Structure 1
């Protein structure tokens, strides 16, 4: 009798643990998550919200009050092992840890289109792109997946659709499509502090419904 009781207890614990794991099951459908908090003054003009492809220059810290809901599903799509990309990746992982975001990473050493498709198929709330090599491939794909939000940090697409938001700063000037790296590009501008600020501002913009724009930090 005691053995059966212990077995039942062990089974209950296993099932409980399995149930806990299932809460992070990305295959389960769910309602679109709502952001926590609101944008502060100076992020956008409420009377004249930005139109697609517009560039905004939000006031420093005006994005600090907006956070993703716990468990917000994010895919970090990254390509390249240069110092700039590594800084962006670190910023994303630090942000995800702080905000209790559910983060998955898709690395794209090559075959970029297939890796972008892999990220989309995970059906995250947001795909964050880090690495200049992904800019042109994203330009080919994003318009066909308007229900999937993308955030490009440290670069921007030349002609983004409404589901692609970029967060950049002086020195982060890569745009792809033959435009490549301009003379204003400064690899030394890719500091962790600047990347983290751009990520938070860009994520706040997406979470607040201001998408398809460039968030440019001073």
Structure 2
């Protein structure tokens, strides 16, 4: 099965969110086309396709020049975890919108569902660097669960068990410092925000991006 663009991102996010739950995941297709599988549809091909198909390759320094919403690829090293923003937040269990019951109201203003218990979710603000350029990237819940192998709720429970405040950054967050990744992200022009969808430590992905960015510099 091959899905493209926004549908690919939605499916990828759904798979990531189900990573720890390991529950059956139902995919409903409309107007789909069935064809026999070919040799090009192996696991290796899909991994490369996910990172390099329909995404714009940009350097970290070029992100400031983006003016439209788009999916992008870049490469960088984690330089800093921004600590002036919380690493997690309480959300509506039916969507990912922030929900604070102390502010009144029992329904989520986004999905309109009633909320009895909130769900902790990750929201990491990470600064990455490449060739002297730096940029901030938001790592949301699904990506962080994949990176850390545990939910934000589990991280909070560990902090509480150790006698720490849940606002203290978990040790697993520190472990991503100095990591070099190929990064696929969605750029939102209105918020001027880069939201990470996935990362790869595969040397092939990293070197391909570095080589592509090098060619862009040469041809300017």
Which band: TM-score by shorter chain?
under 0.3
Which structure: greater strand fraction?
2
| Alignment TM-score, normalising by the size of structure 2 | 0.24
| Alignment TM-score, normalising by the size of structure 1 | 0.25
